[in-house]
């Protein structure tokens, strides 16, 4: 008989924090010993309105008690309201609701192939778009893409923000060009407004559809509703997830009227997409972001961190709003030092950059705790 190896009931994915979490409140989470942790990681850039915001909890609880679920087989007022709210907030014209970032990107890329009849995609070095096959085709992360190399759709991989490379690229058989307007996992890489305009112009001239993956940059995080407003460029398709419904799983594929008018019923579909619970959470999220001034808070917190980190071990603050990278030669030691002071931050694909993506209502207390801890950090002498 072949002995079966014992395996954990829960398959490991990410390396977890060294303590379990039991609850969250605003910009803090609490472990099993009741200790509070300042959350500058935001549950993977998800908790836009903070942990268990009372308005979100109330909206979700009321919806759960009224109608927990019905699919798109039935018209639901809460879904229509959510569609109106997110199209107005994003300045896009139409939305398809799904369940995750990868599903939103997969559908955006699929539509680009369908609507243009072309065979190639284009993306950027360092881009990260998800783990389904089309999303993997445009993701620059060899350890997760290489096992599937034969199954992926061919994709150009251009250097991000490079005007000359953009101008000389051949988009004649490119169906869609996808990008994170600020590349997060790559280490908070930004591009100029001129480059964004050139990208829009290139797509217009060649017929390639422009797709903004706003899964991290959207929902107020840059101090504007989406990066499209921040950079002043309107994409043809825009994807959202993460903060979209404050942590209730939801994805959205937003599009212009020009794209939406070419689709027919049945081109897109999803059982759970646009479920009433997620729609109620989305409505409450947009309301909280707007009525509680969370975009202004993101801009102010960014300015404060930029100003007050001068003279610390952080040599450069990258990014915009509350999608920030702290460049330092001491990332591992600084992350450990912050953890020892009950402050959670994220790493990135760049070994010299730590990431901050806290709730958009991050408090002055959290900022002071972070600033004080960073200024107290003493790198070990070699």
For residue 290, the minimal CB distance to ligand PLP (Å) is: 23
For residue 184, the minimal CB distance to ligand PLP (Å) is: 6
**Which of 105, 145, 331, 348: binder of ligand PLP (CB under 6 A)?**
105
For residue 171, the minimal CB distance to ligand PLP (Å) is: 22
**Is residue 130 at the binding interface for ligand PLP, with CB under 6 A as the rule?**
yes
Which residues on neighbouring strands pair with residue 306, listed in sequence order? none
Residue range at the interface with ligand PLP (CB under 6 A); choices 8-16, 20-28, 126-134, 154-162: 126-134
Between 123 and 373, whose beta carbon lies closer to ligand PLP? 123
Residue range at the interface with ligand PLP (CB under 6 A); choices 63-71, 73-81, 100-108, 277-285: 100-108
Residue range at the interface with ligand PLP (CB under 6 A); choices 117-125, 210-218, 255-263, 265-273: 210-218
**Which of 92, 102, 250, 309: binder of ligand PLP (CB under 6 A)?**
102
For residue 265, the minimal CB distance to ligand PLP (Å) is: 25
Strand 21-25 to strand 209-213: parallel, antiparallel, or no bridges (unpaired)?
unpaired
Q: How many chain residues bind ligand PLP (CB under 6 A)? A: 13
Between 238 and 373, whose beta carbon lies closer to ligand PLP? 238
For residue 253, what are its two tokens? 């594929």
Between 130 and 309, whose beta carbon lies closer to ligand PLP? 130
Kindly identify the residues of this chain, within the stretch 323-342, that bind ligand PLP according to CB under 6 A.
Answer: none
Between 159 and 379, whose beta carbon lies closer to ligand PLP? 159
For residue 215, the minimal CB distance to ligand PLP (Å) is: 4
**Is residue 241 at the binding interface for ligand PLP, with CB under 6 A as the rule?**
yes
Between 211 and 294, whose beta carbon lies closer to ligand PLP? 211
For residue 20, the minimal CB distance to ligand PLP (Å) is: 22
Between 158 and 373, whose beta carbon lies closer to ligand PLP? 158
For residue 20, what are its two tokens? 């379990």
Helices (H), the chain: 42-45, 54-66, 77-90, 101-116, 133-137, 142-145, 163-168, 193-206, 227-231, 257-260, 276-291, 294-308, 331-340, 364-376
The rounded distance, in Å, linking the Cα atoms of 244 and 286 is 8
For residue 45, the minimal CB distance to ligand PLP (Å) is: 7
In this chain, which residue has its C-beta nearest to ligand PLP? 101
Neighbour order of strands in the sheet with 316-320: 316-320, 323-327, 353-356
The rounded distance, in Å, linking the Cα atoms of 327 and 318 is 7
For residue 234, the minimal CB distance to ligand PLP (Å) is: 19
76-80 contacts at long range (C-beta below 8 A, 24 or more positions apart): 76/274, 76/276, 76/279, 78/276, 78/279, 78/280, 78/283, 79/274, 79/276, 79/279
Q: Which residues contact 90 (CB under 8 A, 6 or more apart)?
A: 218, 225, 226, 228, 238, 240, 254
- Distances in whole angstroms, Cα of residue 356 to Cα of each of 43, 160, 293, 310, 344: 11, 21, 20, 17, 9
- Distances in whole angstroms, Cα of residue 366 to Cα of each of 36, 50, 206, 308, 343: 11, 12, 47, 14, 9
For residue 158, what are its two tokens? 């251009």
The rounded distance, in Å, linking the Cα atoms of 178 and 211 is 5
The 3-state DSSP class for residue 15 equals: coil
Residue range at the interface with ligand PLP (CB under 6 A); choices 98-106, 145-153, 267-275, 370-378: 98-106
**Is residue 180 at the binding interface for ligand PLP, with CB under 6 A as the rule?**
yes
For residue 216, the minimal CB distance to ligand PLP (Å) is: 5
Which residues on neighbouring strands pair with residue 354, listed in sequence order? 326
**Which of 28, 118, 120, 129: binder of ligand PLP (CB under 6 A)?**
129
Which residues on neighbouring strands pair with residue 155, listed in sequence order? 121
Which residues would be at the binding site for ligand PLP (CB under 6 A)?
100-102, 105, 128-130, 180, 184, 213, 215-216, 241
């Amino acid at each position: 008989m072949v002995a079966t190896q014992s395996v954990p009931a829960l398959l490991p994915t990410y390396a977890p924090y060294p303590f379990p979490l039991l609850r969250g409140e605003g910009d803090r989470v609490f472990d099993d010993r009741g200790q509070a942790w300042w959350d500058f990681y935001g549950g993977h850039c998800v908790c836009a309105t903070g942990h268990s915001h009372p308005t979100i909890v109330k909206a979700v609880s009321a919806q759960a008690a009224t109608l927990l679920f019905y699919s798109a087989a039935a018209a639901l007022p809460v879904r229509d309201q959510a569609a109106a709210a997110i199209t107005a907030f994003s300045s896009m014209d139409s939305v398809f609701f799904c369940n995750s970032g990868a599903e939103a990107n997969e559908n955006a890329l699929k539509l680009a192939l369908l609507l243009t009849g072309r065979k190639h995609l284009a993306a950027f070095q360092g881009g990260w778009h998800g783990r389904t096959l089309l999303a993997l085709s445009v993701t620059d992360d060899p350890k997760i893409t290489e096992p599937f190399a034969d199954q992926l759709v061919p994709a150009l991989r251009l250097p991000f923000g490079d005007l000359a490379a953009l101008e000389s690229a051949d988009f004649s058989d490119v169906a869609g060009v996808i990008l994170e307007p600020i590349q997060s996992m790559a280490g908070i890489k930004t591009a100029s407004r001129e480059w964004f305009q050139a990208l829009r112009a290139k797509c217009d001239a060649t017929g390639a559809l422009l797709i903004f993956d706003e899964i991290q940059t959207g929902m107020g995080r840059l101090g504007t509703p989406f990066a499209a407003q921040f950079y002043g460029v309107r994409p043809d398709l825009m994807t959202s997830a993460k903060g979209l419904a404050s942590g209730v799983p939801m994805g959205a594929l937003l599009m212009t009227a020009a794209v939406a008018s070419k689709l027919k019923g049945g081109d897109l579909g999803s059982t759970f997409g646009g479920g009433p619970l997620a729609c109620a959470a989305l409505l409450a999220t947009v309301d909280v972001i707007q009525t509680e001034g969370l975009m202004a808070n993101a801009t102010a917190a960014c300015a404060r961190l930029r100003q007050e980190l001068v003279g610390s071990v952080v040599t450069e603050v990258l990014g915009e709003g509350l999608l920030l990278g702290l460049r330092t030669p001491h990332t591992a030691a600084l992350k450990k030092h912050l953890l020892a002071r009950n402050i959670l931050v994220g790493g990135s694909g760049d070994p010299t950059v730590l990431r901050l993506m806290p709730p958009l209502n991050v408090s002055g207390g959290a900022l002071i705790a972070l600033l004080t801890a960073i200024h107290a950090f003493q790198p070990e002498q070699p």
